[in-house]
């Protein structure tokens, strides 16, 4: 394996995407505040986008499709962040806390 | 072919830097105790991802990644941080509990890492016989307005509904008092 051609090998990108996914899942389990969990979710979105882009660059017959899918992922991530932050602010207003241990009752 | 001296070595060094920034930023985002540092780590990670997209022959997506994630998503999260009190609670759970859950989370993420990396490296990937388009910005625009026009319109409706929903949810507690 020629080290000087490493940026043209699909395996590198796929492994980086797997690392991002693993870090995101770890953060999603370990974080105890809602905003921390939101950040970990963004990492998982990024891992999916990178995977799409790598497969799109090396193995897809039409290289425009993966880029369009990643654009859609970015749009959905932006919408998700807006909704999640407004929910977090509403929760903070009711409970004075966004630690996930404190939010244990459904009827507020 | 290489006209600039050490062109390949410089390219590999930039690639290593970009990969390091991506993974380092993700580690900061997932592990730091203060949330504002986590947001900064997410910004670093998205900068590195933009660089990786550039290496993947897509400068348009690289710019979009920085514009949307660093410019919009991370700034919105910073607003959320300012409006609430998001730092991790210190010493809330017992030490045994923390070790148990930390070990379980580490195990799950390592299994996912191993499985996905194995699939990526060993999977039966096949090079395509021929490329239909060149993946340029022009090709993306054409495909967005012809083949993918329905999802394109649906995304705009989803964004509109998300904005309205966010306004309604964030406002509802305020009118009561």
% pLDDT > 70, chain B: 92
Q: CB distance from B61 to chain A under 8 Å? A: yes
Residue A94 pLDDT greater than 90, yes or no: no
How many Å apart are CA B165 and CA B171, to the nearest integer? 10
How many Å apart are CA B43 and CA B67, to the nearest integer? 11
Does B159 contact A79 at a Cβ distance shorter than 8 Å?
Answer: yes
Residue B82 shares a structural domain with residue B3: yes
Enumerate residues 6+ apart whose C-beta is below 8 A from A23. A40, A43, B23, B26, B27, B29, B30, B109
Residue B156 pLDDT greater than 60, yes or no: yes
Query: Could you tell me if residue A107 is inside a domain?
Result: no
Residue A108 pLDDT greater than 70, yes or no: no
Complex ipTM, two decimals?
0.89
Residues A24/A43, Cβ–Cβ less than 8 Å: yes
Enumerate residues 6+ apart whose C-beta is below 8 A from B147. none
Q: CB distance from A108 to chain B under 8 Å? A: no
Tell me the pLDDT tens digit for each residue of B26-48: 999 999 888 899 999 999 999 99
Q: Which pairs with CB-CB distance under 8 Å and at least 24 residues apart come from B41-45? A: B42/A39, B42/A42, B42/A43, B42/B69, B42/B74, B42/B77, B43/B69, B43/B70, B43/B74, B45/A20, B45/A43, B45/A46, B45/B21
Q: B93 versus A101: which is more confidently predicted?
A: A101
Query: Could you tell me if residue A65 is inside a domain?
Result: yes
Query: Could you tell me if residue B99 is inside a domain?
Result: no
Q: Name which of A1, A5, A18, A101 to mutate to probe chain B: the one with the most chain B Cβ atoms within 10 A of its Cβ.
A: A18
Residue in B57, B69, B163 nearest the CB of A82: B163
Cα angle at B140 between B134 and B146, to 5 degrees?
A: 120
Range of the structural domain that residue A72 is part of: 3-95
Query: Could you tell me if residue B125 is inside a domain?
Result: no
Enumerate residues 6+ apart whose C-beta is below 8 A from B37. B28
Query: Could you tell me if residue A30 is inside a domain?
Result: yes
Query: Could you tell me if residue B54 is inside a domain?
Result: yes
Query: Could you tell me if residue B114 is inside a domain?
Result: no
**Confidence (pTM):** 0.89
Residue B176 pLDDT greater than 60, yes or no: no
Residue B1 shares a structural domain with residue B85: yes
Query: Could you tell me if residue A80 is inside a domain?
Result: yes
Q: CB distance from A36 to chain B under 8 Å? A: yes
**Residue A37: beta bridge partners?**
none
Residue B78 shares a structural domain with residue B158: no
Size of interface A-B (CB pairs under 8 A): 255
- The number of distinct structural domains making up chain B is 2
Which of B13-22, B45-54, B144-153, B168-177 has the least mean pLDDT? B168-177
Query: Could you tell me if residue B102 is inside a domain?
Result: no
How many Å apart are CA B117 and CA B125, to the nearest integer? 13
In chain B, residues with a C-beta closer than 8 Å to the C-beta of A58 are 125, 127
Q: CB distance from A43 to chain B under 8 Å? A: yes
Residue B89 pLDDT greater than 70, yes or no: no
Q: Reduce the DSSP state of residue A33 to 3 states and report it.
A: strand
Query: Could you tell me if residue B110 is inside a domain?
Result: no
Residues A29/B101, Cβ–Cβ less than 8 Å: yes
Tell me the pLDDT tens digit for each residue of A38-83: 999 999 999 999 999 999 988 888 888 999 999 999 999 999 999 9
Query: Could you tell me if residue B127 is inside a domain?
Result: no
Torsion sign (Cα): A54, A57, A61, A63: positive
Query: Could you tell me if residue B4 is inside a domain?
Result: yes
Residue B90 pLDDT greater than 70, yes or no: no
- The number of distinct structural domains making up chain A is 1
Cα angle at A80 between A79 and A85, to 5 degrees?
A: 105
Query: Could you tell me if residue A100 is inside a domain?
Result: no
Range of the structural domain that residue B154 is part of: 134-177
> The domain that contains A90 carries what CATH number?
1.10.287.3510
Enumerate residues 6+ apart whose C-beta is below 8 A from A14. A51, A54, A55, B116, B117, B120, B121
């Amino acid at each position: 394996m020629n080290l000087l051609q490493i940026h043209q090998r699909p395996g590198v990108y796929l492994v980086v995407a797997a690392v991002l996914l693993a870090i995101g899942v770890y953060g999603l389990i370990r974080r105890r505040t809602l905003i921390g969990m939101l950040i970990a979710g963004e990492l998982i979105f990024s891992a999916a986008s990178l995977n799409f882009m790598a497969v799109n660059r090396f193995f897809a017959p039409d290289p425009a499709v993966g880029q369009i899918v990643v654009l859609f992922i970015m749009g959905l991530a932006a919408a998700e962040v807006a909704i999640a932050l407004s929910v977090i602010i509403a929760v903070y207003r009711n409970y004075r806390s966004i630690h996930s241990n404190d939010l244990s009752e459904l009827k507020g | 072919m290489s006209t600039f001296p050490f062109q390949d070595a410089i390219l590999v060094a930039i690639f290593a830097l970009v990969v390091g920034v991506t993974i380092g930023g993700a580690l900061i985002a997932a592990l730091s105790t203060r949330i504002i540092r986590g947001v900064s780590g997410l910004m670093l990670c998205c900068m590195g991802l933009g660089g990786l997209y550039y290496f993947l022959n897509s400068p348009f997506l690289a710019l979009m990644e920085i514009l949307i994630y660093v410019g919009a998503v991370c700034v919105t999260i910073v607003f959320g941080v300012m409006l609430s009190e998001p730092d991790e609670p210190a010493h809330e759970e017992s030490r045994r509990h923390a070790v148990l859950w930390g070990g379980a989370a580490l195990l799950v993420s390592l299994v996912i890492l191993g499985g996905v990396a194995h699939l990526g490296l060993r999977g039966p990937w096949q090079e395509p016989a021929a490329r239909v388009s060149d993946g340029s910005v022009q090709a993306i625009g054409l495909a967005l307005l012809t083949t993918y026009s329905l999802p394109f319109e649906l995304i705009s409706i989803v964004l509109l509904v998300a904005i309205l929903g966010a306004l309604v949810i964030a406002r509802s507690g305020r009118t009561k008092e």
